[in-house]
Amino acid sequence: MQRLPLFPLNVVLFPGAQLPLHIFEPRYRTMISRCLEESKPFGVVLIREGVEVGGSSVPHIIGTTAEIQSAYRLADGRIYIVTEGRQRFRINYPLSVDPYMVAMVTMLDDEVNERHQAAALTELYSQYHRTVAAATGMRSTTIDLPSDPVALSYMLADSMQMSLPIKQHWLESELDQRIDELIEALQFELELLPTIPPDQLDREPPFENTSWN
């Protein structure tokens, strides 16, 4: 177990995904400043109950560590940062909540076995991309998808436009289950595409989340 400062947000951060943040609350300016000084990550957790700004919140127990890639400080004390998700963790118990939440956490690894359907997921997403391109009149481009099944599952889970509870479920799921459910979601989207007017189709799936705090 290890100590980890936590940042409850209305966003699900997956390992490998980038998350830009605007830090303006004094408590989180303090937290980010300490992380920068010590070159340490913080944890991003989806809010289960409560509010993101100016109050208390209860987070889900599974989150992702965020490594600060770049930071820009403004004269008034606000900080703009770009982070990247690194590793999932589980909250064991809180240590403090004032001025910000700190908890003891356990890092989680994905177990990779031969049962996963990563190849099928890659082909299905490529088919989905080609279908959307054809429907919108866009030129179909080659997608550079990760060969690693864990990275692939996180990248596609992040890119799909799903509700936060579904994304949180995928973050908490084991690799096999995550891939199977991504395949089901893409199959459903492919069946649905012919019923959607071309001007309502997104031209590109969002590969980045943005949150402001």
**What digits encode the pLDDT tens for the residues 2-24?**
999 999 999 999 999 999 999 99
Would you state the pLDDT for residue 201? 58
What is the gyration radius of the CA atoms in the chain, in angstroms?
19
Confidence of residue 189 (pLDDT cuts 50, 70, 90): confident
Give the model confidence (pLDDT) of 122-168 as tens digits.
Answer: 999 988 888 887 777 666 666 788 989 999 999 999 999 899 999 99
Calculated CA dihedral for residues 118, 121, 123, 129, nearest 10 degrees: -140
Q: CA torsion sign, 195 to 196 to 202 to 207?
A: negative
- For domain 2-108, give the fold: 2.30.130
Percent of the chain with pLDDT over 70: 85
CATH 1.20.58 spans which residues of the chain? 118-206
CATH 1.20.58 fits 118-206, yes or no: yes
Which residues belong to CATH 2.30.130.40 in the chain? Answer: 2-108
Helix (H, G, I), strand (E, B) or coil at 103: strand
Contacts made by residues 174-179, CB under 8 angstroms, sequence distance 24+: 174/110, 174/111, 175/110, 175/111, 175/112, 175/116, 175/149, 175/150, 176/113, 176/115, 176/116, 178/153, 179/116, 179/117, 179/118, 179/121, 179/149, 179/152, 179/153
Alpha helices in the chain (DSSP H): 26-38, 118-136, 149-159, 164-172, 175-192
Q: Report pTM.
A: 0.86
Q: Above 80 in pLDDT, residue 54? A: no
If you average pLDDT over residues 23-35, what whole number do you get?
95
DSSP 199: G
- H or E element in which residue 174 lies: none
| Distance in angstroms (rounded) separating the CA atoms of residues 152 and 186 | 14
How many C-beta atoms lie closer than 10 Å to residue 77's C-beta? 11
The token pair that represents 202 in the structure block: 């997104």
- Residues 129 and 68: their CA atoms lie apart, in Å, by 31
